[in-house]
Chain A
């Protein structure tokens, strides 16, 4: 009994796990630098200047954040899509939501890149 399985879902399933592993590593570093080990009693509030100095400290941060943005946007929206897909929407509604997600993803990535451009 041959059942045709959409190969697209297989790749999104696979990439959801791979991006997850990647984000695990990246988020731990990101949390440590900007959320956990930023001591306000000695370093003060996080400001434009402190972020710029921080990011300028190594060329690595540039590669890091420009990869981080598309990976996290994919992981978040693909994850939300997986939840929605579980409810088996009617075809037209499903296409509508999917299109909205693609536009939203593009908007988030573009906003993220322009934000980063101003912080580097």
Chain B
């Protein structure tokens, strides 16, 4: 990737301030984020190969209010990528590309509704008092 290409990409993003361009960037960034998360997730869970003690130790390290906040961002990334992916698939498979802007606003509403539910469900995990003492 030459430096010019990257600059070109950034200039493109600045020039095309529209929904299509915005969701394109959102999809790429959440996609990269989720791929990185997949790697971390595999790292944490693969401790199961070493056995129960190793698994509980590593899983215990990521179950606290700090990671619960990160979990909210993770789930937001999942929902953005999932709903926008659905929008792309609908436009690609059913030729709904002329409606892609309306679909964007529909998925945006669904996204905010899902995030309210997510935050309510994660809420107890944000309070340190809810965690069992000594694991």
Contacts and interface: CB of A to CB of B under 8 A. Distances in A.
Interface of A: 17, 20-21, 23-24, 27-28, 31, 35-37, 39-41, 44-49, 51, 72-73, 76-77, 79-80, 83-84, 87-89, 108, 111-112, 114-115, 118-119
Contacts of A87: 1, 5
B132 A24 contact: no
Interface residue tally of chain B, by bracket? 35 or more
Is chain B's binding surface mostly helix, strand, loop or mixed?
helix
B95 interface: no
Is chain A's binding surface mostly helix, strand, loop or mixed?
helix
Interface of B: 1, 5, 28, 31-32, 34-35, 38-39, 42, 45-46, 48-49, 51-52, 55-56, 59-60, 63, 71, 75, 78, 82, 85-86, 88-89, 92-93, 117-118, 121-122, 124-125, 130-132, 135
Nearest to A21: B89
B118 A36 contact: yes
CB-CB nearest 4 A-B residue pairs: A48-B52, A76-B35, A118-B48, A87-B1
